[in-house]
Chains A and B, each alone.
Chain A
Amino acid sequence: MSGKKHLIYNPEKECMSRDEMHAWQSAKLAETVRREYENVPMYRARMDAKGVKPEDIRTVEDLKYLPFMEKTDLRDYYPFDLLASPRSEIVRIHGSSGTTGKPIVSGYTRNDVDVWSEMMARTLTAAGCTKDDVVQVAYGFGLFTGGFGAYQGADKIGAMVVPMSSGNTQRQIMMMQDLGATMLCCTPSYATYLGETIREMGLAPGKDIKLKAGCFGAEPWSEAMRVRIEELLGIDACDIYGLTELGGPGVAFNCLEKDGMHINEDHVIAEIIDPATGEQLPYGEKGELVFTSITKTGMPMLRYRTHDICSLTDKPCACGRSTIRMSRITGRTDDMLIIRGVNVFPSQIETVLVKTQGVAPHYMLVVDRVNNSDTLEVQVEMTEEMFSDTVGQIENVRRYITEQIKSVVGISAKVTLNAPKSMPRSEGKAKRIIDNRKL
């Protein structure tokens, strides 16, 4: 026991008995499966192919009969073919990068926005937020769910929201001081950067800076980074988990025990599967995290494979919540990278190179973290098609690739042109990524 004072936003839901939760999840699951079957032709076809009817899904245990959904489905049925509600009921669109050129988008009904706000209100409350707090949101506002998610949760609590969006560090710190911000929401790497800048400016946390806690997510981080952020800013640093496909941040969150993330189980059902066989694994075992939305109506995802690797536990938590918890994400089952909070797939870079060069040159992605900011270098092997006797023309090719990556992936990369055959060749899957980040 940490002796921490635990606040719970919705004790009725967050502390319900396991039996009650099972009954609630079973009912909501059956409802959602029926909605999906009746409204989404793609999923109906997939269920029919497996010989599963909506009436076969009565309890949480029946989940295993349902077919999976994948990120590629959001690309293949982009943008609206997975909607389970009429288009006129959709009040919001959010999105993130897909596996190739196109982003993936998710449609939210009013209900879905409310569900998401509720999940984020619980998340912030678990980190100690009340209506007396000043919540500085330094996540980006846009298609990305971070900014809006944090805003909605804090707004629901009735806290004072400062929607700063990301970047402009000097201004962030000035507002933090002037308004007396007590909670911070941003990526963990930006929290570190803010902390270091605050220290360099000679400001004292606890005196000049009033922060008490922060909710940090959208990119992988470690316990070591948590300790560093907590020291720099003098706060409790809480981890949050979420993804656009499931609504956004707030799917799971740390309470102040910071021992795993509580899953908002009355809204999503979590499973861990063996990524190779698709079989469910028991609590405690590491595998791929799979989520099923059971309260969303716009674009509910059923058995959505996150490709994130972690484990689940149903051991009781000192905070009093009865919900199961997920461990930190320890890896991916695919080659997705998260760079500055943006999902990056090597296949996106390959798409750009094929499009600009007509051929797929050998390339390597080198990721690093410099001054708490992720950097991406794309090393491309020179080809005869790209080569010219003038520096200007080669620089134009390089600039064009850089611009295309920025437009397709959404982040700035440094593109370098390398000698032919300078990249390692392998018989099997080519090694495309060098990740030098020390988290």
Chain B
Amino acid sequence: MFIKQLSVFLENNPGTLRAMTELLGRGGVDMLALSIADTQSFGIVRTIINSSQIDDAMTLLRENGYIAKVNRVICAAVPDRPMGLSELLAVIEESKLSVEYMYSFLRAAKPGTAHMILRLDDGKKAEEVFEEHRIKMLSQEDVDKM
């Protein structure tokens, strides 16, 4: 089960992140989760937004000269307690999957549960492994309700 993620390319310069988030903010886009990958010269902003807003957000970004893409990631629910995350990672490690990146939701859908966004090197296999280990994955519908 996958959900949609929006990624945006930014130059690593002062003000670029502010300008981009302001553009989306003024367009009424609500970010549910956010991560920034940065290198010396550029950054990638990854965000989860309500799927009904993705097309509008993409149009808005493109019209303003941004390079952006939509791709699929897994959203896994993990117990919000010590060891919750490491137990998930142990499953990933045992299955010989590797994490390309990972970040968490800005808000919890229900108390006691944390939601992690994961991009693994083999998404299809990851889905099977998570199902097998009964790790709850959120659907796009679940996310849109958050």
Interface residue ranges, A against B (CB under 8 Å):
382-384, 387-392, 394-395, 416-422
Which of B9, B46, B71, B119 lies in contact with A382, CB distance below 8 A? B9
* Contact A390 B100, beta carbon cutoff 8 Å: yes
- Per the bound structure, the CA–CA distance linking A124 and B7 in Å amounts to 61
Taking CB atoms and an 8 Å cut-off, the chain B residues in 1-18 that contact chain A are 5, 7, 9-11, 16
Main secondary structure of the interface of A (DSSP, over half): loop
User: Is B69 on the interface with A (CB-CB < 8 A)?
Assistant: yes
Which of A389, A416, A421 lies in contact with B119, CB distance below 8 A? A389
Contacts of A383 in B (CB 8 A): 67
- Per the bound structure, the CA–CA distance linking A382 and B16 in Å amounts to 15
Closest 7 CB pairs of A and B: A389-B7, A419-B11, A421-B65, A387-B67, A391-B37, A382-B67, A416-B41
Contacts of B69 in A (CB 8 A): 384, 387-389
Assuming the A-B contacts A390-B100, A390-B119, are A420 and B65 also in contact, with contact meaning beta carbons closer than 8 angstroms in the complex? yes
What's the tally of chain B residues with a CB closer than 8 Å to chain A?
Answer: 21
A351 CB to nearest B CB, Å: 23
Interface residue ranges, B against A (CB under 8 Å):
5, 7, 9-11, 16, 37, 39, 41-42, 44, 46, 65-69, 71, 100-101, 119
Contacts of B68 in A (CB 8 A): 387
Contacts of B46 in A (CB 8 A): 389
The interface centre, meaning the residue of B10, B44, B65, B68 with most chain A CB atoms within 10 A of its CB, is B44
* Contact B9 A391, beta carbon cutoff 8 Å: no
Main secondary structure of the interface of B (DSSP, over half): strand
Contacts of A390 in B (CB 8 A): 37, 44, 100-101, 119
Contacts of A421 in B (CB 8 A): 65
Q: Which residue of B lies closest to A389 (CB)?
A: B7
**Pairs across A and B, CB under 8 Å, 23 listed:** A382-B67, A384-B67, A384-B69, A387-B7, A387-B9, A387-B68, A387-B69, A389-B46, A389-B69, A389-B71, A389-B101, A389-B119, A390-B100, A391-B101, A394-B44, A416-B41, A417-B42, A418-B11, A418-B42, A419-B66, A419-B67, A421-B65, A422-B11
- Per the bound structure, the CA–CA distance linking A280 and B80 in Å amounts to 84
The interface centre, meaning the residue of B10, B46, B71, B100 with most chain A CB atoms within 10 A of its CB, is B100
Q: Which residue of B lies closest to A391 (CB)?
A: B37
Contacts of A389 in B (CB 8 A): 5, 7, 44, 46, 69, 71, 101, 119
- Per the bound structure, the CA–CA distance linking A421 and B39 in Å amounts to 20
B43 CB to nearest A CB, Å: 9
Q: Which residue of A lies closest to B45 (CB)?
A: A389
